[in-house]
Amino acid sequence: MYGILFTIAAAGMALLAMFIRMRAMKKPASARKILIPPLAMSTGFLMFLYPPVQQITWLEVIEAFSVGLLFSILLIKTSHFEIRGQDVFMKRTKLLPVILISLLVIRLIVKLLLDIHFEYEVLAGMFFILAFGMLLPWRIAMFFKFKEVHRQLKWSQEFSEHDLKTQKSPDEEVDDKDEDLTGPRSV
């Protein structure tokens, strides 16, 4: 009974997280917004101080983290940034919700299959490691993609400022044409 309730609660939280992620795409991205989630999530490693969770073997840790790395490839491939106005935004993609829902379904199926083989605390620890293994490389890749697009934005802003400084006003251009026709003026 509790397993079903926890599964429904996890699915609800995942859908809420996906909704928040989609709304966040409407706001400009920043390095801080990209890097804070893995830092905040890392506090979850405190669960491994609880003795039942400590029963996870190093092989299980490596397996869970590796599966997370594989899942992160899909997220990395579909996460891109674009310049809108004077800010950098994450590009909206119709694939992101599909990928997130697919990952949730896969996670739930694996959880249901493994539930009979592992204690609840061990399974929770393994899925935390899997989620962290997925989030960390995705956010690091996003950070580097963001920095590249942000660098392009800064370069285009500096280039346009330089163009504005070197452009002459229409009055200056008329004076230059007069000088060319009559020669230099002496006052």
For the chain, the average pLDDT equals 80
Give me the mean pLDDT over the 124-137 stretch: 90
Q: In angstroms, what CA-CA distances link 123 with 60, 65, 108?
A: 10, 13, 12
Give pTM, 2 decimals: 0.74
Task: Label residue 1 by pLDDT band (50, 70, 90).
Answer: low
What are φ and ψ of residue 82, in 5° steps? -145, 160
Give the domain ranges of the chain. 19-164
155: amino acid identity, one letter: W
Q: What is the pLDDT of residues 10-43, one digit of tens each?
A: 778 777 877 887 787 788 999 999 999 999 999 9
Q: In angstroms, what CA-CA distances link 66 with 39, 58, 107?
A: 19, 12, 14
Q: What is the pLDDT of residues 138-176, one digit of tens each?
A: 999 999 999 999 999 999 888 777 666 666 555 555 455
Which is nearest to 129 in space by CA: 70, 67, 72, 73?
A: 67
